[in-house]
Amino acid sequence: MGGPLIEQLRRDGLSITSFYTSSMSKTAIIESLALALEKGEIKIPRIPALVDELLAFDQERLPSGGIRYGAPRGQHDDCVMSLAIAWHGMRYASVPDYSKGIGLNRRRDAC
């Protein structure tokens, strides 16, 4: 689903690093986000949807011994995953130089 969006943003001149969500990558970013919240390295805005998702977010031990992170059945975890991916990006991705008018500066009027 994200592939076409990523390609369009790249055509628009943005430096985009894609993130493939798998059970392993999800576990890694959720545990990193949880640790950051615990250590006070990140603070979240009081956005009701985000707060509700964070409070409902849970883990389940699988028969294989692994852990599944996610929202309870019938609920969403889009906000939690967006926050976790953003935190991952802030910690590990390189920051592009937009000082030459490339990317976001070009599209400021679209916001």
Is 50 exceeded by the pLDDT of residue 108?
no
Note whether 4 and 30 are same-domain residues: no
Other Cβ atoms closer than 10 A to 60: 10
| Model pTM score | 0.73
Note whether 27 and 8 are same-domain residues: no
Note whether 32 and 80 are same-domain residues: yes
Residue 19 contacts residue 88 (beta carbons within 8 Å): yes
Over the stretch 1-58, which tens digit does the pLDDT of each residue have? 578 988 999 999 988 888 888 889 999 999 999 999 999 999 988 999 999 999 999 9
Note whether 34 and 57 are same-domain residues: yes
Q: Which residues constitute the domain of residue 28?
A: 23-92
The total number of structural domains in the chain stands at 2
Note whether 35 and 66 are same-domain residues: yes
Angle at 65 between CA 59 and CA 66, to 5 degrees: 50
